């Protein structure tokens, strides 16, 4: 038995050894490896996706901001806790942001199919935890909706703020996810979330980093749209587009019968997209662009039910011209960017979404007037106003912005920029605002404390930025911006107590100023 067991084990060992030797002698088939190859068809940075004929490019930036004298990262201390100019006003606001973009291109018999997406992860710390107007660490969500708390008892439920960057206002603490762009381009069509065809090529930034510049349309974070663009050669192109107005282009249809100083925004459902057209000439000397938009103002009911009736829809419009001049004698790469805009019932095409706090401005300041506790400057700019039993009255605005951009050397550059916007109401709208019973102004006008009741106002802005780029794609910058609110009310107004520490008192109606400093470090890749 022992002999048989030894024979079996020995035979097995021989078989294993022979099998191993045979396996070692057999040719081994190498595992297929697909190498990433450079795609030179669409410029630097593109690579073929392994196993496909699609090219891809990854890009983005990491940015750190500190804004001095501001309660938000987008604009100045224009309303809410920032506009209070007291102990609720922040000395600074911080933000850290990571941006990532994905660009794919595929050549087809119909031309190039392109997809592009860009999203950001941001963390913003811009208020203290006990602020009743903005509990917790405020995220960069809607600015206009909660930013006017400083005089909310009088303003009422103002126009809903735009949602800059499509921020998730319900995100935990100060962290947010922003979807900037997500679109497909094919055979001349652009479908998805992209920059509006109304915007100038520099969107909101003719030379600045400051986000709250008025004086022109420019949704830098894109808008949902369906667009066809035609290229005619020689740098000439034209586009026709329909785009969603709800997130970025609704400044408010205000029902003055709801009380407060300027009533309450009273939107019905959205039934019509904005219609946008654009023509551009882009050549070696610079570019010229002319754009126009039509915007439907669709209000709900005069009262709380259908039985109260409603005003008719009113279509507004906006027109804008933009000019860039290159090759100017001050130095290589220097440019002048300038644009002008007029709107009638389409305010957001002038006071753009990241500047929307300037369309609901409430800025407090000092006063030397006897009997006045302090002063306050007011500016409000919805698309339309109406009262029970009346039709919508369109709000008109004018605006412009521009910049001179100069390169001192390969490492240093500066820009001097400015902007202006004027908001004007027609006679009927002024009568409704100043004389509608139940509004804050009507009682003050009747009592003679408001000696001039005129809701028109202007915004002026002037800024200067200097950038240092010690190595490629790494830039440090300092951007200082002065903003002036030129309001047309005169006299005094009794203001109830507000959540940002302002007592119920008599305030002088007066022009106001604010200054911010934006410090930024940014690494592009």
Task: Give CA–CA dist 463/75, Å, rounded.
Answer: 12
- C-beta separation of 8 from 15 below 8 A: no
pLDDT-derived band of residue 498, with 50, 70 and 90 as boundaries?
Answer: confident
Q: Would you state the pLDDT for residue 284?
A: 95
Domain 60-524 belongs in CATH node 2.40.160.10: yes
In sequence order, what DSSP letters do the residues of 356-415 get, joined into one string?
A: GGGGEEEEEE---STT-SEEEEEEE--SEEE-TTS--EEPEEEEEEEEEEEESSSSEEEE
Give the count of alpha carbons within 13 A of 355, CB side only.
33
- Per-residue pLDDT of 93-110, as tens digits, reads 999 999 999 999 999 998
Are 82 and 71 within 8 A, CB to CB?
yes
Average pLDDT, the chain: 86
Cross-strand partners of 23: none
| Strand stretches in 79-198, DSSP E | 92-108, 111-125, 175-186, 189-194
Residue 82: name the closest of 35, 24, 144 by CA: 144
pLDDT at 507 over 80: yes
Q: Is the pLDDT of residue 25 over 90?
A: no
pLDDT of residue 177: 87
Mean pLDDT of 318-328: 97
Predicted local confidence at residue 510, as pLDDT: 97
- Per-residue pLDDT, 443: 87
- pLDDT value of position 4: 42
Distance between alpha carbon 446 and the CA centroid of its chain, in Å? 40
Band (pLDDT 50/70/90 cuts) for residue 311 is very high
pLDDT at residue 219, as a whole number: 85
Q: Greater confidence, 248 or 5?
A: 248
Q: How far apart (Å, rounded) are the C-alpha atoms in residues 279 and 290?
A: 5
List Cα–Cα distances, 61 to 58, 231, 277, 459, 465, in angstroms. 11, 31, 31, 32, 20
Rounded to whole angstroms, the Cα distance separating 321 from 14 reads 90
Average of pLDDT values for 245-253?
A: 94
**What single-letter DSSP state applies at residue 355?**
G
How many Cβ atoms sit within 10 Å of the Cβ of residue 410?
A: 10
Residue 348 Cα distances to 117, 258, 303, 309, 512, angstroms: 24, 23, 26, 27, 22
pLDDT at 31: 52
- Angle at Cα 346 formed by Cα 342 and Cα 350, nearest 5°? 50
- Contact (CB, 8 A) for 287 and 275: no
% of the chain beyond a pLDDT of 90: 74
What integer pLDDT is reported at residue 23 of this predicted model?
A: 40
Average pLDDT for 337-353? 97
Whether pLDDT at 231 is above 60: yes
Indicate if the pLDDT at residue 515 is higher than 60.
yes
Give 304's pLDDT tier (boundaries 50, 70, 90).
very high
Q: In DSSP terms, which residues pair with 139 in a beta bridge?
A: none
| pLDDT value, residue 127 | 62
**Which among 79-88, 141-150, 152-161, 293-302 has the top mean pLDDT?**
293-302
Report the relative pairing of strands 490-495 and 450-452 from DSSP bridges: antiparallel
Question: Could you report the per-residue pLDDT of 134-180, keeping only the tens digit for each?
Answer: 433 333 333 333 333 334 444 443 443 333 333 333 333 467 889 99
Range in 81-95, 158-172, 461-475 the model is least confident about: 158-172
List the domain boundaries for the chain.
60-524
State the pLDDT at residue 126: 60
Q: What is the pLDDT of residue 312?
A: 97
Instruction: With a cut of 70, say whether residue 266 has pLDDT above it.
Output: yes
Q: What is the pLDDT of residue 134?
A: 43
Of 432, 463, 243, the residue nearest 355 (C-alpha): 463
H-helix or E-strand containing 11?
Answer: helix 2-25
Which sign does the torsion angle of CA 525, 167, 268, 435 carry?
Answer: negative
Over residues 64-84, the mean pLDDT reads 89
- Of 1-5, 127-131, 300-304, 370-374, the range with the lowest mean pLDDT is 1-5
- Bridge partners (DSSP) of residue 486 are 458
């Amino acid at each position: 038995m022992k002999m048989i067991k030894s024979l079996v084990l020995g035979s097995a060992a021989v078989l294993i050894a022979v099998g191993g030797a045979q396996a070692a002698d057999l040719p081994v088939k190498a595992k297929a490896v697909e190498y990433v190859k450079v795609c030179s068809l669409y410029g630097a940075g593109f690579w073929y996706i392994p196993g496909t004929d699609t090219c891809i490019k990854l890009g983005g930036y990491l940015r750190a901001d500190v804004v001095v004298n501001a309660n938000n990262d987008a604009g100045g201390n224009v309303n809410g806790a920032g506009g209070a100019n007291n102990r609720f006003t922040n000395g600074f606001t911080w933000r850290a942001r990571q941006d990532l973009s994905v660009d794919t291109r595929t050549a087809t018999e119909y031309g190039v199919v392109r997809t592009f997406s860009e999203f950001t992860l941001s963390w913003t710390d811009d208020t203290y935890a006990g602020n009743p107007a903005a509990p917790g660490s405020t995220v960069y969500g809607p600015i206009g909706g909660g930013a006017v708390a400083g005089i909310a008892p009088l303003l009422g439920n103002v126009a809903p703020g735009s949602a800059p960057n499509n921020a998730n206002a319900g995100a935990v603490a100060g962290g947010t996810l922003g979807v900037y762009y997500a679109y497909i381009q094919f055979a001349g069509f652009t479908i998805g979330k992209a920059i509006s065809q109304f915007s100038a090529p520099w969107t909101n930034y003719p030379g600045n980093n400051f986000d709250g510049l008025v004086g022109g349309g420019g949704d830098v974070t894109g808008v949902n749209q369906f667009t066809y663009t035609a290229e005619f050669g020689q740098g000439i192109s034209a586009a026709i587009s329909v785009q969603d107005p709800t997130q970025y282009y609704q400044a408010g249809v205000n029902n003055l019968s709801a009380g407060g100083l300027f009533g309450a925004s009273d939107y019905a459902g959205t039934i019509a997209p904005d219609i946008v057209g654009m023509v551009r000439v882009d050549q070696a000397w610079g570019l010229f662009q002319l754009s126009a938009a039509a915007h439907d103002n669709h209000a709900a009911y005069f009262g709380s039910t259908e039985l109260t009736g409603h005003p008719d829809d009113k279509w507004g419009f906006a027109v804008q011209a933009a000019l860039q001049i290159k090759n100017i004698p001050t130095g290589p790469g220097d440019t002048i960017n300038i644009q002008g805009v007029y709107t009638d019932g389409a305010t957001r095409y002038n006071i753009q979404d990241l500047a929307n706090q300037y369309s609901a401005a409430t800025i407090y300041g000092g006063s030397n007037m006897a009997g006045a506790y302090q002063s306050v400057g007011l500016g409000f700019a919805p698309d339309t106003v109406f009262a029970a039993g009346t039709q919508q009255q369109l709000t008109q605005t004018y605006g412009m912005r521009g910049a001179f951009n100069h390169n001192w050397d390969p490492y240093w550059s500066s820009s001097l920029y400015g902007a202006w916007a004027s908001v004007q109401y027609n006679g009927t709208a002024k009568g409704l605002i100043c004389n509608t019973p139940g509004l804050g102004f009507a009682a003050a006008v009747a009592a003679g404390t408001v000696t001039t009741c005129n809701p028109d106002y202007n915004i002026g802005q002037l800024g200067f930025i200097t950038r240092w780029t010690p190595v490629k794609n790494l830039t440090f910058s300092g951007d200082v911006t002065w903003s002036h609110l030129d309001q047309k009310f005169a006299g005094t107004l009794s203001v109830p107590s507000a959540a940002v520490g302002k007592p119920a008192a008599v305030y002088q109606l007066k022009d106001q100023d604010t200054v911010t400093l934006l410090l930024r470090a940014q690494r592009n890749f």
